[in-house]
Amino acid sequence: MPGQGQNWRGESPSPRNQGVCLLCDLRNGESATITEIVGDHPQPPLLESYGFVPGVRVVRERTAPQGDPIIFRIEGRLVALRREDAMQISVRRKERE
């Protein structure tokens, strides 16, 4: 039985992994910092040219009427990304102050 604050393997969550999730899992209005581009994305340079690189802050602005694509504010601009592409970017949620 894992104790409190431990995951199913019984490990304590390292501070490195705390709050890490996929970009598409953010809620509207929530902001986060990109940690890495995961998976075998066909075109990481394309994402990079729109600012999707580790270390950059991103805010999930809103969702398109049919639930996809998702609109993010990144580096001052609004960028729409399909959910399947947003699933390949991992982010760390901004800690609540």
Partner 1 sequence: MSLGTIPAARGRRVVQAGSLAQARPGIRAVALVGPPNCGKSTLYNRLTGTRQKVANYPGVTVEYRVGKLASDRNISVIDLPGIRGRQPHSEDEEVAWKVLQRESPGVAPPDAVFLILDGTRLDSQLPLALEVLALGLPTLVLVNLADALLERGGALDVASLEGSLGVPVGLVSATQGTGLECIGQFLKVDRPSEPPKLPPVIQDSSGCRTWARRVVEDSRYRLPKESVWTKRLDSFFLHPFFGPAFLLLATVLVFQSVFSAGQWLGNGIDEGLRRADAAIRPAIPNEILRSLLMDGLWKGMGSVIVFLPPILLLFLFLGLMEDSGYLGRAAVISDRMMARIGLNGKCFIPLLAGYGCAVPAIMATRVVGSKRDRLATIFVIPFITCSARLPVYTLLIAAFVPQGMILGGLIGLRACALLGLYVLGFLAAVATAKLLNSTVLDNSRMPFVLELPEYRLPRLRSLAIMLLERAKIFLAQVGTVVLGVSFAIWFLAHLPIRTGQLATMNDSLLSRAGHWLEPLVHPLGFNWKIAVGLLTSFVAREVMVGTLGTIYGADPGATTQSLGTALQRDLTLPGAMALLVFFALAMQCTSTFAVVRRETNSWRWPVLQFVYMGTLAYVCAWIVNLCFGLIL
The residues binding partner 1 (CB under 8 A) are: 41-43, 45-51, 53-55, 61-62, 64-69, 71, 73, 75-82, 85
What's the min distance (Å) between Cβ of 12 and partner 1? 30
Pairing of strands 70-74, 57-63: antiparallel
53 close to 79: Cβ distance less than 8 angstroms = no
What's the min distance (Å) between Cβ of 70 and partner 1? 10
Q: Identify which of residues 5 and 42 has a Cβ nearer to partner 1 in the complex.
A: 42
Q: Identify which of residues 4 and 27 has a Cβ nearer to partner 1 in the complex.
A: 27
Q: Identify which of residues 19 and 69 has a Cβ nearer to partner 1 in the complex.
A: 69
Q: How far apart are CA 3 and CA 1, in angstroms?
A: 6
What's the min distance (Å) between Cβ of 13 and partner 1? 27
Exposed e or buried b for every residue in 16-36, given b needs 16+ CB within 10 A? Answer: eeeebebbbebeeeeebebbe
